[in-house]
């Protein structure tokens, strides 16, 4: 046991080391995790014998719960909304088209049995969220046309569809179900997946909003929600991955307390799960077997990368009149990853009469995708001139309290305080400070210039600084022409009573506003809301 624990710690240290090396070399980090697994495996230097597909499937499926949940939790819906229709079509219809193209290619050109061909098409039909997120964020690829949101939403939401398609093909190969059974299976996958995803998210929201839990207990509670969102529908043959993703995206975009610690926690645990999954899948592979299947796998990888994926993206995005540059870049960003290998592992556990070494074929395709496509993503972004210096791909999360350099100072008023009994408009403040919250008799109030301060009031005052307070809830809004706010002073803006603009980010500068501040196009408003 102690040896295994020591080995696990060595793997983590090596992964961190190769993470830094891969970043400097421009190689996708996740490739390093797979290579470390292969290095430790039966054909590697350390020759650790591991071929337990059942254990690997259970571990990887559990890890994928957190990856899927956090993929949704980290999606900023206000940014993703303009491209939601495109992304959801790519993650559903796009998956079906891609799987069909690859399946027919494998059958008609490579002469692989029909159902095996469809199975290969199904397991490689989705793009890998972990790979895409890692590359976009590590290289800070700020993209035009909302392309980063389009790719992230697609890659985060298409695994459930690929999983469902894989389960259907497996059922066909087992030849145990009638047409009615297939219809029931599909209905259960979708209905239970959607129901439990929505239900668990709102259950969590009610508990977090109404119950005063400590930060540590809130983190543990949300961890349990992620697990329940997957397990509950899975017990009823529903799509657990769809449920986990929906629960994450709904909960992540609701106003819940202490979101920042949750973000940090899931950041860490998701990184660990990605290391675990890619290492374990690398451990399962036998590099010596890759040679025999290389011609077949290479042909599929080329067809998928240069024909099936681009044609699918073109068919779906062109009716939206998407720019050609965006279509080309999205086509290239169809990276395959751990999900494909996990899905083929599930198939191997359920189907025993396969004629081809599908595991190593899919493994080869994933290696090709991460190494070739992943390495060239930053280069292609520059070649296509799709980089947008005015956007920030790192701003995925709906809570920005760590990203805004604002300090919040708490001040209590007594009867002798010179501000007691005065309206805020009549008080002279230090430059670049603003009262953002007033606490009175246990109630939180967003003040304005007409608010009269009373003895025993507690004020929260903002000033520029990197330090923050948890009692302030921050969201962002970008000023666009359609808002009708451009070139207007703040006092004329019809903002809700429980909201207050506390900071304006204009270009590289930061402005502490007052009622007379004129708003400009592309200003980013940081808003405090109850």
Q: Which three-class secondary structure string do you get for 516-530?
A: CCECCCCCEEEEEEC
Tokens standing for 276? 């675990």
Q: Are β-strands 406-412 and 499-506 bridged in parallel, bridged antiparallel, or unpaired?
A: unpaired
Question: Distance (Å, rounded) from C-alpha 187 to C-alpha 190?
Answer: 5
Domains in the chain with CATH codes: 2-383 (1.20.1530.20), 406-529 (3.30.70.1450)
**Rounded Cα gap, residues 363 and 286, in angstroms:** 10
Q: Is 475 helix (H, G, I), strand (E, B) or coil?
A: strand
- Below-50 pLDDT ranges, the chain: 396-403, 466-469
- List all residues 6 or more positions away from 296 whose beta carbon is below 8 Å from its beta carbon: 110, 112, 356, 361
Q: In this structure, what token pair is assigned to residue 149?
A: 């949101």
Side-chain half-sphere exposure of 444, counting CA atoms within 13 A? 13
Q: How far is CA 507 from the centre of its chain?
A: 27
Residues 226 and 508: their CA atoms lie apart, in Å, by 38
Q: According to the model, what pLDDT value does residue 399 have? A: 47
Measured between alpha carbons, how far is residue 397 from residues 122, 155, 210, 257, 408 in Å?
Answer: 31, 16, 23, 14, 21
Residue-wise pLDDT tens digits, 117-159 = 999 999 999 888 767 777 777 666 777 777 887 888 888 888 8
Backbone angles phi, psi at 443, to 5 degrees: -110, 140
Q: For residue 31, give every residue at least 6 positions away whose Cβ sits within 8 Å of its Cβ, in sequence order, or none.
A: 22, 367, 370, 371, 374
Do the Cβ atoms of 419 and 463 come closer than 8 Å?
Answer: no
How far lies 125's CA from each of 86, 128, 159, in Å?
17, 10, 9
DSSP secondary structure string, 201-228? Answer: HHHHHHHHHHS---HHHHHHHHHHHHHH
Q: Looking at residue 400, what is its pLDDT?
A: 46
Specify whether the backbone of 458 is left (phi greater than 0), alpha (psi in -120 to 50) or beta.
Answer: beta
For residue 162, the number of C-alpha atoms closer than 13 Å in the C-beta half-sphere is: 33
Answer yes or no: pTM beyond 0.85: no
- Of 154, 133, 138, 37, give the one whose Cα is nearest residue 88: 154
Q: How many CB atoms lie within 10 A of CB 379?
A: 11
């Amino acid at each position: 046991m102690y040896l295994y624990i020591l080995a696990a710690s060595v793997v983590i240290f090596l992964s961190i080391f190769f993470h830094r090396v891969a970043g400097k070399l421009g190689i996708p980090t996740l490739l390093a995790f797979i290579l470390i697994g292969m290095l430790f495996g039966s054909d590697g230097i350390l020759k650790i014998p591991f071929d337990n597909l059942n254990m690997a499937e259970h571990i990887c499926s559990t890890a994928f719960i957190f990856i899927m949940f956090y993929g949704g939790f980290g999606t900023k819906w206000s940014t993703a909304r303009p491209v939601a229709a495109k992304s959801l079509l790519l993650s559903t219809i796009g998956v079906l088209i891609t799987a069909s193209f690859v399946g027919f290619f494998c059958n008609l050109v490579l002469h692989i049995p029909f159902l095996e061909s469809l199975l290969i098409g199904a397991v490689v039909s989705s793009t890998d969220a972990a790979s895409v997120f890692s590359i976009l964020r590590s290289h800070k690829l700020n993209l035009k046309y909302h392309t980063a949101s389009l790719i992230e939403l697609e890659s985060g939401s298409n695994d459930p569809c690929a999983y469902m398609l894989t389960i259907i093909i497996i059922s066909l190969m087992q030849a145990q179900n009638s047409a009615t059974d297939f219809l029931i299976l599909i209905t259960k996958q979708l209905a239970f997946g959607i129901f439990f995803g929505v239900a668990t998210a709102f259950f969590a929201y009610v508990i977090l909003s109404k119950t005063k839990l400590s930060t540590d207990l809130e983190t543990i509670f949300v961890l349990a929600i992620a697990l329940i969102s997957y397990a509950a529908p899975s017990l009823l043959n529903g799509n657990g991955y769809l449920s986990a993703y929906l629960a994450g995206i709904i909960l992540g975009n609701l106003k819940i307390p202490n979101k920042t610690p949750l973000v940090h926690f899931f950041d860490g645990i998701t990184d660990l799960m990605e290391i675990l999954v890619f290492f374990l899948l690398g451990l399962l592979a036998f590099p010596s077997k890759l040679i025999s299947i290389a011609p077949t796998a290479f042909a599929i990888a080329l067809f998928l990368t240069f024909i099936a994926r681009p044609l699918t993206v073109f068919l779906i995005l062109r009716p939206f009149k998407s720019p050609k540059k965006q279509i080309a870049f999205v086509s290239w960003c169809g990276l395959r990853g751990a999900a494909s290998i996990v899905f083929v592992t599930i198939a191997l556990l359920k189907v025993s009469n396969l004629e081809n070494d599908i595991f190593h074929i899919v493994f080869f395709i994933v290696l090709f995708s991460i190494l070739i496509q992943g390495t060239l993503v930053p280069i292609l972004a520059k070649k296509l001139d799709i980089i947008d210096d005015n956007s920030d791909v790192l701003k995925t999360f709906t809570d920005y309290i760590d990203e805004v350099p604002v300090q919040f100072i708490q001040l209590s008023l007594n009867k002798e305080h010179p501000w007691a009994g005065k309206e805020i408009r009549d008080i002279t403040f230090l430059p670049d400070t603003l009262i953002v919250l007033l606490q009175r008799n246990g109630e939180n109030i967003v003040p304005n210039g007409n608010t009269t301060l009373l003895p025993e009031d507690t004020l929260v005052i903002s000033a520029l600084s990197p330090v923050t307070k948890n009692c302030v809830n921050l969201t962002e809004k970008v000023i666009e022409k359609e808002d009708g706010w451009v070139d207007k002073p703040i006092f004329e803006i019809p903002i809700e009573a429980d909201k207050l603009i506390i900071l304006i980010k204009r270009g590289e500068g930061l402005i502490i506003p007052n009622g007379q501040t004129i708003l400009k196009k592309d200003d980013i408003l940081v808003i405090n809301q109850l």
